[in-house]
Structure 1
Amino acid sequence: MKEPVAELKQTLKILNLTEAAQIIDQSLMEAEQAQWTCREFLERLLHYEIVRREEKQLARRYKWASFPELKTLDEYRLEEQPSLSKRQFQQLRELLWLEQNYNLILLGPPGVGKTHLAIGLGIEALKNGRKVSFVTMDTLIHLLKTQLISRSSQYKVKRLLHSDLVILDDLMFMAMDRNEANMFFQFINKLYGQTSIILTSNKGPEDWGELLGDQAITTAILDRILHKSEVIQLNGDSYRLKYRQTIFQNA
């Protein structure tokens, strides 16, 4: 019995059904004990292969995304965000905007949940089979400036450009010189029309020109980002301050 099973396992591997090959011995025993039909046996074996492939693909997409932390939409405190209705929240979650290559611009002061919302939507996109990449603005500028001399930077920029969704966190956190602003424009131009962007910032588009340092470049960037976009202004108190941890015990 061992030789035929070994041959069957090898055949499964040749057909690239490697997950099924790992459980073929156990599956044959269960099939015999439970008296499965041939159809039931094949269905269970192939179902396992599909489930394991999907799990591995999802794990790879998570690794690709490079989220700084995992924050889901289920954990988002929508009741504490007065500027976003439950209906709007659900519409964002359905990802129709992503299917239509829309951009989301999440504005608001620090601590109101911009990054949490962006990551949560990114996780939803991952679960729907999309490639997502998260990058802070300062990291992006560093990658763009070093991609010609660093294979690592070149690879990471290429990965960003091949994503279905790019999350740019803390846009306008730091001022750029003209060269940096031009590189950022070239990056946005390559994403334009093929990749959706979620952009978080504590400054509105009307203030971007001051930080980019060049009005012509600012206009060109805004033209591409705002062409198909939804601007969401988040308000309220800082979650970080409200739910901060303390070293002191409650008196």
Structure 2
Amino acid sequence: MTGRRQPTQPAVEAAIDAGCRTLRLPTMRARFGEVAAQAEREQLSYLGFLAELVMAECDDRTIRRTQRRLHAAGFPRSKRLDDFDFTANPVLNPALIGQLATSDWVRQGRPLCLIGDSGTGKRHLLISLGTAAAERGHSVRYVLAAKLVNELAEAADERQLARTIARYGRSDLLPIDELGYLQLDRRGAELLFQVLTEREERSAVAIASNEPFSGWTKTFTDPRLCAAIVDRLTYNGHIIETGTTSYRLAHARSLRPSASAQ
């Protein structure tokens, strides 16, 4: 009785390649030769080799998912907490920001308000905390306040408002930037209020505003709506004041040549 004929090396590689394509395992397909050679050098068992190959696929799949979440978030630029200079803004508590970076508040559906003047790091914190949330597996959707209100108004005119509000309600975290830069009429405020109500105590909202809450009546001209929106954004939430001193301006001034050097 003859033994089973062993397939040639090219046939084995072609079979693995085809199987990985069918099963959609791109990392296994790309690295099986490399991992096999490593397993041979280290004298790994068959199960050890298989474990190395499976873990490589899982690790790369996690990275790809994170990259997709970051892309879907729509951040205007990359910002990370590691790049934030806390020495330039001593008003901020690094330990508190580090705690927020764990994204427990996102999981709990709690709001976050970043309040301070321009140049104090609000956007950097908004984006970097949103990035941290996306990297921890949460879906994030960044939007400028004016863009959000305009999109809602267009959706209302086209009788698509419910669908648009539902879309903004699906993400785990909705960072709204530049709230308070533009005045909103009653309709705009009502539309924004509907989005906040959709997410209340269920999904997290983070906002960055250059106006203290006492000045929000300039943004939301209806006092009752203003009070209701502030309530939605502050109840059981975190309020971080980033101060009034622009470290961007201070940094720019530090780069200017002194009069004695001229």
Shorter-chain-normalised TM-score: which range?
Answer: 0.7 to 0.9
Q: Residues 170-181 of structure 1 correspond to what in structure 2 (within 5 A)? A: 170-181=178-189
How far apart in 1 are the matches of 2:53 and 2:42? 14
Tell whether the 8 Å contact from 2:108 to 2:202 is kept in structure 1 after alignment. Answer: no
Compute the displacement of 1:96 (Å). 2.5
Where 2:152 maps in the other structure, the secondary structure is helix
Which residue, out of 237, 240, 243, partners 2:245?
A: 237
For 1:204, the aligned partner's letter is: P
Tell whether the 8 Å contact from 2:89 to 2:247 is kept in structure 1 after alignment. Answer: no
Question: Which runs of 5 or more structure 1 residues have no equivalent in the other structure?
Answer: none
Which residue, out of 226, 231, 234, partners 1:218?
A: 226
Deviations along 1:199-233, one digit per CA (max 9) or x if unpaired, are: 11111222223321222322322232222212111
Q: Which moved more, 1:17-26 or 1:43-52?
A: 17-26
Tell whether the 8 Å contact from 2:120 to 2:245 is kept in structure 1 after alignment. Answer: yes
Which segments of structure 1 move beyond 4 Å, counting only runs of 4 or more? Answer: 153-159, 245-251
For 2:20, the aligned partner's letter is: L
Which residue, out of 2, 5, 13, partners 1:5?
A: 13
Q: Residues 68-83 of structure 1 correspond to what in structure 2 (within 5 A)? A: 68-83=76-91
Which residue, out of 30, 44, 67, partners 2:75?
A: 67
Residue of structure 2 in register with 1:118 after alignment: 126
Residue of structure 1 in register with 2:96 after alignment: 88
Where 2:141 maps in the other structure, the secondary structure is strand
Residue of structure 1 in register with 2:4 after alignment: none
Change (3 A) 1:48 1:148: farther
The alignment covers a number of residue pairs equal to: 251
How far apart in 2 are the matches of 1:181 and 1:149? 16
Superposition TM-score, scaled by structure 1 size: 0.87
How far apart in 2 are the matches of 1:39 and 1:155? 49
Tell whether the 8 Å contact from 2:197 to 2:232 is kept in structure 1 after alignment. Answer: yes
For 1:136, the aligned partner's letter is: L
Which residue, out of 188, 192, 199, partners 1:184?
A: 192
Which residue, out of 194, 197, 206, partners 2:202?
A: 194
Tell whether the 8 Å contact from 1:27 to 1:45 is kept in structure 2 after alignment. Answer: yes
Which residue, out of 34, 39, 47, partners 2:55?
A: 47
Question: Which runs of 5 or more structure 2 residues have no equivalent in the other structure?
Answer: 1-7
Compute the displacement of 1:38 (Å). 0.6
How far apart in 1 are the matches of 2:167 and 2:84? 28
How far apart in 1 are the matches of 2:180 and 2:130? 21
Tell whether the 8 Å contact from 2:75 to 2:127 is kept in structure 1 after alignment. Answer: yes
> Which protein shows a greater Rg?
2
How far apart in 2 are the matches of 1:243 and 1:157? 40
| Identity %, equivalent residues | 27
For 2:137, the aligned partner's letter is: G
Q: Which moved more, 1:2-11 or 1:156-165?
A: 156-165
- The RMSD of aligned alpha carbons is 2.9
Where 1:190 maps in the other structure, the secondary structure is helix
Compute the displacement of 1:154 (Å). 9.8
How far apart in 2 are the matches of 1:27 and 1:87? 41
How far apart in 1 are the matches of 2:169 and 2:115? 24
Residue of structure 2 in register with 1:161 after alignment: 169
Where 2:16 maps in the other structure, the secondary structure is helix
Compute the displacement of 1:109 (Å). 0.9
Tell me, yes or no, if structure 1 residue 137 matches structure 2 residue 145. yes
Which residue, out of 180, 195, 207, partners 2:215?
A: 207
For 1:51, the aligned partner's letter is: D
